[in-house]
């Protein structure tokens, strides 16, 4: 996990973290993510701070991917990527370009999977059951409401199953909101409802995950890194002691 990115001059951003080209826009996605390359030639799916959910949505997904990975869930790698101010038009519509220009600074990069195809709900029965359990258990903690039969948010690649799209998870809002009873149940209609939930949880480096997030994303929550880490810790403790 890289150290916490800090805003600064473009010269201070390493090539592997700097967006260089926008190749295409995923028009079917509500937040218009894009296929981009960084200055070192790596390919990423870029989600923008200027899109609907804003920086809090990026933080939600960034932390969720790290937490899901700790469970062993097969998620793509992720890192903050810097979009230079005044980035030139390369793809998409005028509306997309306006959103891109609003997104100057740190945005969310998710590893591009070139050989991926969507997994249909009917295919789930043939997938590795242990892998499905890791996804179900991490989705329980994250309160992922966006993995349904109509929208599995699963991809199949040459190296196996990948779970994606964690920006609709409710855990962050619940961690930062008013105290409420915790639940370990999967959301109603979840694709993996009924799978066994484990009695414990893996070791989670919440402080490390928060430290790796850009300051602007954390600031958008109205708290600071220490406060966010404490809130997440309380949320996780409550989830762990809740009845399965």
Same domain, 96 and 127: no
End residue of a domain, out of 111, 132, 167: 111
CA–chain centroid gap for 243, Å, is 27
State the pTM of this model.
Answer: 0.93
Same domain, 237 and 137: yes
Give the H/E segment covering residue 118: strand 117-118
Query: In this predicted structure, what is the pLDDT of residue 92?
Result: 87
What does each C-alpha distance from 150 to 11, 43, 119, 147, 167 come to in angstroms? Answer: 44, 28, 11, 8, 17
Query: In this predicted structure, what is the pLDDT of residue 9?
Result: 52
Query: In this predicted structure, what is the pLDDT of residue 2?
Result: 46
Question: Three-state DSSP class for 140?
Answer: helix
Query: In this predicted structure, what is the pLDDT of residue 213?
Result: 98
End residue of a domain, out of 76, 96, 111: 111
Domain count within the chain: 2
Query: In this predicted structure, what is the pLDDT of residue 5?
Result: 54
Low-confidence ranges of the chain (pLDDT < 50): 1-2, 6-7
Strand order of the β-sheet with 117-118 is: 117-118, 154-157, 160-163
Mutual angle of helices 129-142 and 54-70, in 10-degree steps: 140
Task: Give residue-wise pLDDT tens across range 52-105.
Answer: 889 999 999 999 999 999 999 999 999 999 999 999 989 989 999 999 999 999
Supply the DSSP symbol for 190: B
Query: In this predicted structure, what is the pLDDT of residue 7?
Result: 45
Query: In this predicted structure, what is the pLDDT of residue 244?
Result: 67
Give the H/E segment covering residue 67: helix 54-70
Same domain, 90 and 122: no
Instruction: Tell me, yes or no, whether 122 lies in a domain.
Output: yes
CA angle 137, 244, 129 (to 5 degrees): 35
End residue of a domain, out of 54, 80, 111: 111
Supply the DSSP symbol for 124: G
For residue 96, what are the domain limits?
Answer: 10-111
């Amino acid at each position: 996990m890289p150290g916490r990115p800090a805003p600064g001059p473009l010269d201070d951003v390493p090539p592997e973290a700097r967006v260089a080209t926008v190749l295409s826009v995923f028009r079917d996605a509500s937040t218009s993510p894009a296929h981009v390359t960084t200055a070192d030639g790596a390919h990423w799916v870029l989600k923008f701070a200027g899109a609907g959910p804003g920086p809090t949505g990026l933080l939600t997904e960034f932390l969720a991917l790290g937490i899901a990975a700790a469970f062993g869930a097969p998620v793509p790698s992720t890192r903050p990527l810097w979009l230079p101010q005044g980035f030139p038009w390369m793809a998409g519509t005028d509306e997309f370009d306006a959103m891109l220009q609003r997104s100057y600074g740190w945005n969310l990069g998710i590893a591009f999977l070139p050989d991926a195809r969507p997994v249909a709900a009917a295919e789930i029965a043939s997938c590795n059951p242990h892998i499905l359990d890791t996804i179900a258990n991490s989705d329980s903690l994250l309160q992922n409401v966006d993995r349904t039969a109509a929208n599995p948010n699963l991809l199949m690649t040459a190296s196996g199953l990948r779970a994606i799209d964690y920006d609709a998870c409710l855990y962050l809002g619940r961690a930062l909101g008013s105290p409420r009873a915790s639940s370990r149940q999967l959301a109603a209609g979840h694709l993996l409802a009924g799978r066994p939930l484990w009695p414990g949880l893996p070791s989670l480096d919440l402080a490390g995950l928060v430290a790796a997030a850009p300051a602007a994303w954390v600031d958008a929550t109205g708290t600071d890194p220490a406060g966010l880490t404490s809130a997440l810790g309380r949320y996780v403790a409550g989830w762990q002691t809740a009845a399965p």
